[in-house]
């Protein structure tokens, strides 16, 4: 489920729309806190955030501004495409400059999760902020696919790997593996021709093929 919010851009009258992907039934107030947490990264006024509605479809897999809404004084603009920076391992990595977003944790973190809660994944950058997007090989009704979830959502919405795997189980998915490297990801895609890669929550058969 995609939850939509709007807020004013700092220093202007433009309205930015932000989309956040989360499971059906997630409290809107909790999602609003997640949007507020990212407000400085997308230059929006946190006090102006308003819930707009939800749509049952896929969207970008992280909290980012989707579009600026047309206003009488300015045209709308698209955001930059996320940049892939490489692969992340939570052991012995870069300096920890952030705090873990798992509720009640607050340990030092390189991205959004501390070493205890972090999982391996592909690092992408959006508007100067890095996210670790993990890939999970799962199976449902005999069909294999890869689901992706970014580290902010993994920690803030699910509290880490254990709850995510539980949610997948509730959805009828069997987790076969957390992909541990770019090479393993490519080998898995070769082993399962036509393998679907979809964002969380999984939405077969409408997943989006991806690199």
What digits encode the pLDDT tens for the residues 187-197?
A: 998 999 888 88
Are residues 19 and 3 in contact, defined by beta-carbon separation less than 8 angstroms? yes
Torsion sign, CA atoms 33, 154, 8, 106: positive
Q: What are the Cα distances from residue 99, in Å, to 18, 93, 103, 211?
A: 23, 15, 11, 29
Query: Residue 4, SS3?
Result: strand
Domain locations along the chain: 2-69, 83-199
Q: What is the mean pLDDT of residues 28-42?
A: 70
How far is Cα 148 from Cα 21, in angstroms, rounded to an integer?
A: 12
Half-sphere exposure of 35 (CA within 13 A, CB side): 31
pLDDT value of position 164: 92
pLDDT > 70? residue 74 = no
pLDDT value of position 95: 65
pTM given for the model: 0.59
Are residues 131 and 190 in contact, defined by beta-carbon separation less than 8 angstroms? no
Q: What is the mean pLDDT of residues 152-159?
A: 89
What digits encode the pLDDT tens for the residues 107-139?
A: 999 899 998 999 999 888 876 788 899 999 999
């Amino acid at each position: 489920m995609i939850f939509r919010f709007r807020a004013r851009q700092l220093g202007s009258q433009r309205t930015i729309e932000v989309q956040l992907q989360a499971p059906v039934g997630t409290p809107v107030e909790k999602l609003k806190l997640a949007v507020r947490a990212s407000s400085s990264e997308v230059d929006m006024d946190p006090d102006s955030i308003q819930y707009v509605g939800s749509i049952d479809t896929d969207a970008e897999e992280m909290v980012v501004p989707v579009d600026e809404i047309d206003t009488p004084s300015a045209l709308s603009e698209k955001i930059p495409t996320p940049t892939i920076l490489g692969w992340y391992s939570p052991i012995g990595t870069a300096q920890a400059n952030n705090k873990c977003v798992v509720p009640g944790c607050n340990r030092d973190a390189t991205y959004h999760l501390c070493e205890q809660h972090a999982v391996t994944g592909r690092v992408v950058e959006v508007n100067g902020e890095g996210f670790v997007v993990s890939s999970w090989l799962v199976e449902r009704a005999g069909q294999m696919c890869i689901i992706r979830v970014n580290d902010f959502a993994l920690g803030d919405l699910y509290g880490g790997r254990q709850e995510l795997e539980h949610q997948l189980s509730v959805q009828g998915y069997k987790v076969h593996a957390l992909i541990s490297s770019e090479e393993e990801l490519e080998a898995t895609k070769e082993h399962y021709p036509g393998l679907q890669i979809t964002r969380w929550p999984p939405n077969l058969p409408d997943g989006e093929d991806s690199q």
